[in-house]
Chains A and B, each alone.
Chain A
């Protein structure tokens, strides 16, 4: 499989951003929650039907 490592990839890019997608960055959340600050999604995941 043709591949390169991350360091090389970063060098090839004009711009790189690494998102701090982590658990529990919402106000009402804890570090074991993935709601990213959305209290509505605590429990069931994001729901389009409200």
Chain B
């Protein structure tokens, strides 16, 4: 039997005069007395164990695609990364959407995959309502013909009619609604839309509670209230996943005078308070720099060329932040297009491969020996591109120190309270 070696990180915890041990590949966390920690090596072997610790390789057998069906939006949120609003009018053609589905089905067959994921994004995707309905019908037909299974999701602002809410609850599998807190906060963040969004969330929850998830952008004005916001969500939508992300200073968020990104340390501190609240409501919370996933992958997300995101004009991109081709950074993530003549997508495989190679946190020298890397993977490349347009893929996060402290605090939390509030318990 071949012996396998695992890296052991040792992190001092001055407050308790102890050392936290962390083996990322096994997701094993330890607490040692400081004196015992002196003899600990940097690598652990698995001895004669027959236990299969390692998870299978990342995303090995899933076929997924996202359609940015429109850049139109019925809101004009103060921080919108894409500067969306009612004045934008592009909508994807059925021809492009159907070709994207054909591609996904074809790929699923080729890879012998049984399930295909499709999600709708915008703008506000429900602004292309007829298209969403038609695409769902077409997708269902293709899935049935190919004897596959499906998952359809949508990210939405929830500002639409009761009939639309009911249709989504009935026909889609997951609905992520952007709700930034209670009325006083949400209305400042998101064009005074609280009443409609909250009402939609209530309808969706009543119809199909297991399909609903809540996504909240956190600003300088809402960060202090995060625990109250989590209680508010927990009270109204128990068991629903809650996602919290700090406001990104891009698009309208870059020049917004009212809203700013929250202080990262404060955000992470409040997030850990929220985890305990989530546990109380038998749910889990997420934030993107705290990823619990396979250790075999160095990418923060699928922006490394894994994503198949089709823009309304037929471009294929790997990061939905880059939906408008405005500057050279947008084109960095653009690796294919829809060919009107052949009705098929054409890919620049060299560029796709380049994305995979570049957008890997192992390229970031500060990340290589960092325990937090296994959770944050160098942070979001799109956010970093706004700060370091030419070198973002090899730059550490601007929130690096705060993330390290956050991960350390999370490891301590896990040792003290277990994974309730962070991971599903069964």
Interface residue ranges, A against B (CB under 8 Å): 1-7, 9-10, 12-23, 25-28, 30, 32-34, 36-50
Chain B residues positioned under 8 Å from A45 (CB to CB):
291, 299-303, 306-307
Residues of A within 8 A of B36 (CB): 12-13
8 tightest Cβ-Cβ pairs between the two chains A and B: A45-B301, A5-B47, A39-B174, A46-B288, A19-B27, A43-B64, A13-B30, A25-B424
Expressed in whole angstroms, the Cα–Cα distance for A37 and B320 within the complex equals 21
What would 9 more interface pairs be, CB under 8 Å, given A36-B292, A42-B174?
A13-B32, A17-B28, A21-B293, A22-B55, A28-B173, A32-B115, A43-B117, A49-B248, A49-B382
Q: Is the interface of B mostly helix, strand, loop or mixed?
A: mixed
The CA of A27 and the CA of B175, in the complex, are separated in Å by 12
CA distance A13 to B22 in the complex (A): 12
Give the size range of B's interface with the partner: 35 or more
B363 within 8 Å of A by Cβ?
no
Q: Residues of A contacting B59 with CB < 8 Å?
A: 34
Across-interface contacts of A34 in B (CB, < 8 A): 58-59, 293-294
With A6-B46, A23-B55 known as contacts, the answer to whether A48 contacts B32 (CB < 8 A) is no
How far does the Cβ of B8 sit from chain A's closest Cβ, in whole Å? 7
Cross-chain contact A3 with B301 (CB below 8 angstroms): no
Query: B250 and A49: CB pair below 8 A?
Result: yes
Question: Quick check: B419 and A20 within 8 Å, CB to CB?
Answer: yes
Which residues of A are found within 8 Å of B174, using beta-carbon distances? 28, 39, 42
A18 touches B28 (CB 8 A): yes
Which residues on B sit within 8 Å (CB–CB) of A38?
213, 241, 243, 284, 286
B321 at the interface (CB under 8 A from A): yes
Q: Which residues of chain A have C-beta atoms less than 8 A from B162's C-beta? A: none
Contact count A vs B, C-beta below 8 Å: 203
Taking a contact as CB atoms under 8 Å apart, the answer to whether B28 and A16 are in contact is: yes
- Which B residues lie at the A interface, using CB under 8 A? 5-6, 8, 18, 21, 26-33, 36, 39-47, 49, 55-56, 58-62, 64-66, 81, 115, 117, 119, 149, 151, 153, 155, 173-176, 178, 210-211, 213, 215, 217, 241, 243, 245-246, 248, 250, 284, 286-289, 291-294, 299-303, 306-307, 309, 320-321, 380, 382-383, 414-415, 418-419, 423-424, 426
Contact residues in A for B306 (Cβ distance below 8 Å): 45
Residues of B close to A14: CB separation below 8 A: 18, 30-33
Let me know if A7 and B424 touch, CB within 8 A.
Answer: no
Q: Which residue of A lies closest to B426 (CB)?
A: A25
Minimum CB–CB distance for A33 against chain B, Å: 6
Cα distance A48–B8 in the bound complex, in angstroms: 29
Query: Contact: A39 with B66, CB < 8 Å?
Result: no
**For the complex, what is the distance from the CA of A8 to the CA of B290, rounded to whole Å?**
29
Nearest CB in chain B: distance from A32 CB, A: 5
Contact (Cβ within 8 A) A4 B45: yes
Report B-chain residues with C-beta under 8 Å of the C-beta of A30: 115, 149, 151
Q: Report the separation of the CA atoms of residues A9 and B28 in the bound assembly, to the nearest whole angstrom.
A: 11
Indicate if the CB atoms of A36 and B307 lie closer than 8 Å.
Answer: no
Measured between beta carbons, the chain A residues less than 8 angstroms from B42 are 2
Distance between Cα atoms of A44 and B415 in the complex (Å): 30
